[in-house]
Structure 1
C-alpha cells in the first residue's frame, strides 16, 4: 500500500476541515470574541509546527509505523505506554465521530431516525473502504472529496458576502488582549494537532520525504478556510450573537438568499461535514486496525477491522449526551489532555530522543 504526496495533501485537508468547521468556530468566538479569527491564525502557526515535528519523527524510520518506531526510539516499555495513549485517542475518536455523525444528522435532517441505524451505516462504509482498499482506498476518496469540500465551502462563503458587515469585527485586539486571543487558539489547535496521525502515514508514502511539505500545506489550507469562515460568522452575526449558537458556521448558511432564488443551502453544509468526517473517521479506523494488528503481531491486519468495528460501535452507542460533541467535549477533554500529551508532548519527546540517537549513531559510524 503506497500513497503519493498529493494524496497526503488532500488527506490532511479533508481530515481536518469538516470537524473544525463544526466544532472549532464557536469556542474561539466565546473566548476571543471579535478577535477569534486571530486566534485561528495563531492555531495555524502552531499546527504547522506540530505536523512538522510529527513528520520529521516519521522520517527517522520511513519504513516503519508509529507502533514500530516508538519502541525503537524509547525502548519497549516506554514505547508501549505511549502507543497505548494513541490507541485510546484513535478508538475514542472513531466512536465519538460516529456518535457525532448520528446526532448531527438527526438534528438537521432525520429527526425520527434511530441513531444506531445512522452509526451502523457509516461504520459499514468505513469497513468497506478500509477492507477493500486500505490506506490507498481512503487516499483516493480524499482526492475526490477534498476538492469538493474546498469548492463548496468557498462557494458558501462567497454567497454569504452580501450579509457581511465588516465593522462587526472591530475593534481589533484592544477589547480582548493577547491572553484571551491565545486561549481562543487552543480549540482549533487541538484539531489541527490531530495531524500527528502523519506518524502512522509516513511509512505508507511512496516518497516519504514529501510528507512534511504536503502535510503542512494540507493543514494550512484547512486552517485558512476555517479562519475565513470565522470571519464570515463574525461579520454576519457579531460575536455576541454568534457565541450563543451551537454550530455558528451552519447558521450563516440559513441567511443565504440571492435574489430569492438561491437559498436553503443547508444540505451543502451537511454534505461538506459528512464527506470530511468520513475521511477522518476512516483514517483513524485504518490506523487503529493496522496498529492493533502490529501490536498483536498479526500478519493479516484486516482481521482486526472487525474487532475495531465492534468496539467503536459500542463506544458510539454508549455516548452519554449530545453535549459531548459541543464545547464541553472540546474544552474539558480534547484541549486539556489530548492536545498537550498526544499532540505536543509525545511528538516532541520522540523528536528529541530520536535526534539524539541518530546523531550518536552517525558519530559512531563516522568514527
Structure 2
C-alpha cells in the first residue's frame, strides 16, 4: 500500500520528533550548556546540506524499489546485505533506546514502586500490535495523534512564558567553541534517523521533493530549538544541564489559576504518542527489511525476536547513569559517522549503472 507525502511526514515528525524533543535533550544541554540553542542553529545548516544528499539518493531510485532491491541491482547482493544489516542494527538500537527511556521516565515521575514489566508489557503489546497490523495502522494513528501533540506543545510553550528569562541564553561562546562542537555532534547523531526516509521511499505515491525535505528538516530542528531554549530560559544553563528529562520538567511549571497546578499528565500523552510510533515503526521496519526466500516466515521470526528483545531490555538491571554516558559519548558520535558514510556510499552507488539483465521500469 502506498501513502501520500503528507501522511508519511506526519509519521516521521512523531518518529524523529520524540527523539529531538525528549531523547537528545539531556545530552545536548549537558554538552552545549548555555550555547545548546546555538548548536541547533549550526546543525540546521548541516542538516539542510544532508537533505540535498538524501534527495539526490532518492531521486536516483527511479523505479521506486525498496532500498534492498535498489542496492542489489546496482551494487550486488553482498553490499546490499551489509548496508541493510547496518541500518537494521541502527533501527533496533534507536527502538531499544526509546523503549528504555520511556520506562525510565514513567518509573522516575509516576510509578517508582511499580515493577518495570508491569509498565513495559502494555506498551510493548500496543506497539507490537500496531507494527504487526502494518504501516497503514501506524500512518492512521499518526494522523490522529500528531495534531493533539502539537496543540499540547503550543499549550506548554504559551503557559510557561511568565517563568522564562531569555537573558540566560547569553552571552554566547563564553566557554569557547568546544560546547558548540559537542552539542552539534549530539544533534547530528540524533538526526541520523532521517535515513529512515530511504527505508520508506517505496511506500510513497510520489517521491519527496527537495522542498518537502527542507520543510521536514525545519520542523524537526524547531522541535529541538523550542525545548532547548525553553529549558535554558526556565531553569538556567546550570540547572537545565543536570536534568534527566528537561522537556518534561517544563510541564511542571504550568499553573491554571489558583487551584490547578499539576497538568504534567498531559506530557505523558505526548511521550506515549511519540514513543508508540517510534517503537512500532522500528519493529515494522526491522521486519520489512527482511528479503529473500520464505520472506513472510522470516519476517515473523524477526518481528517476534525483536519484540522479545525489547521486552527483556527493561528487566536487565542497568545503571541509568552508565546508559546515558554510553549514549551521549559513544552512540551519537558513532551514529553520525555511520550516517555520513552510508549516505556517501549510497550517493556513489546511485550513480553506478544498473546490472545487466535488469529491466528498467
TM-score, reference length from structure 2: 0.89
Whether the 8 Å CA contact 2:116–2:314 is kept in 1: the answer is no
In structure 1, C-alpha distance between the alignment counterparts of 2:342 and 2:97, rounded to whole Å: 23
Task: Deviation per CA, 1:130-151: give whole Å up to 9, x if none.
Answer: 222x112111111111122221
1:167-178 pair list within 5 angstroms: 167-173=167-173, 175-178=174-177
Equivalent in the alignment of 2:71: 70
Per the alignment, in what secondary structure is the counterpart of residue 261 of structure 2?
coil
Q: Does 1:259 align with 2:257?
A: yes
Per the alignment, in what secondary structure is the counterpart of residue 16 of structure 2?
helix
Per the alignment, in what secondary structure is the counterpart of residue 185 of structure 1?
helix
Task: Deviation per CA, 1:284-339: give whole Å up to 9, x if none.
Answer: 111001112x155514676243233223323453363323553x133233222122
In structure 2, C-alpha distance between the alignment counterparts of 1:98 and 1:65, rounded to whole Å: 27
Q: Label 1:42 to 1:348 Cα distance change in 2 as closer, same or farther (>3 A).
A: same
Equivalent in the alignment of 2:192: 193
Equivalent in the alignment of 1:162: 162
In structure 2, C-alpha distance between the alignment counterparts of 1:295 and 1:49, rounded to whole Å: 35
Which one is further off, 251-260 or 161-170?
251-260
Q: Does 1:93 align with 2:101?
A: no
1:142-291 pair list within 5 angstroms: 142-173=142-173, 175-208=174-207, 210=208, 212-291=210-289
Cα root mean square deviation, aligned? 2.5
Per the alignment, in what secondary structure is the counterpart of residue 295 of structure 2?
coil
Work out the number of aligned pairs and report it. 355
In the TM superposition, what is the alpha-carbon distance from 1:344 to its structure 2 partner? 1.5
Q: Label 1:109 to 1:312 Cα distance change in 2 as closer, same or farther (>3 A).
A: same
Whether the 8 Å CA contact 2:15–2:277 is kept in 1: the answer is yes
In structure 2, C-alpha distance between the alignment counterparts of 1:163 and 1:235, rounded to whole Å: 8
In the TM superposition, what is the alpha-carbon distance from 1:156 to its structure 2 partner? 0.3
Equivalent in the alignment of 1:120: 121
Whether the 8 Å CA contact 2:74–2:352 is kept in 1: the answer is no
In structure 2, C-alpha distance between the alignment counterparts of 1:203 and 1:301, rounded to whole Å: 20
Q: Label 1:216 to 1:135 Cα distance change in 2 as closer, same or farther (>3 A).
A: farther
Equivalent in the alignment of 2:295: 298
Q: Label 1:258 to 1:316 Cα distance change in 2 as closer, same or farther (>3 A).
A: closer
Whether the 8 Å CA contact 2:28–2:183 is kept in 1: the answer is yes
In structure 1, C-alpha distance between the alignment counterparts of 2:315 and 2:327, rounded to whole Å: 19
In structure 2, C-alpha distance between the alignment counterparts of 1:10 and 1:345, rounded to whole Å: 27
Q: Does 1:347 align with 2:336?
A: no
In structure 2, C-alpha distance between the alignment counterparts of 1:28 and 1:178, rounded to whole Å: 14
Equivalent in the alignment of 1:38: 38
In structure 2, C-alpha distance between the alignment counterparts of 1:96 and 1:172, rounded to whole Å: 31
Which one is further off, 47-56 or 78-87?
47-56
In structure 1, C-alpha distance between the alignment counterparts of 2:41 and 2:266, rounded to whole Å: 25
Task: Deviation per CA, 1:43-97: give whole Å up to 9, x if none.
Answer: 2332343344335323433532222223333322222222211121122332332
Whether the 8 Å CA contact 2:105–2:245 is kept in 1: the answer is no
1:40-59 pair list within 5 angstroms: 40-59=40-59
In the TM superposition, what is the alpha-carbon distance from 1:230 to its structure 2 partner? 1.0
Task: Deviation per CA, 1:152-191: give whole Å up to 9, x if none.
Answer: 1121011110001121111133x13334313211212222
TM-score, reference length from structure 1: 0.88
Equivalent in the alignment of 1:337: 334
- Structure number with the higher helix fraction is 1
Per the alignment, in what secondary structure is the counterpart of residue 217 of structure 1?
helix
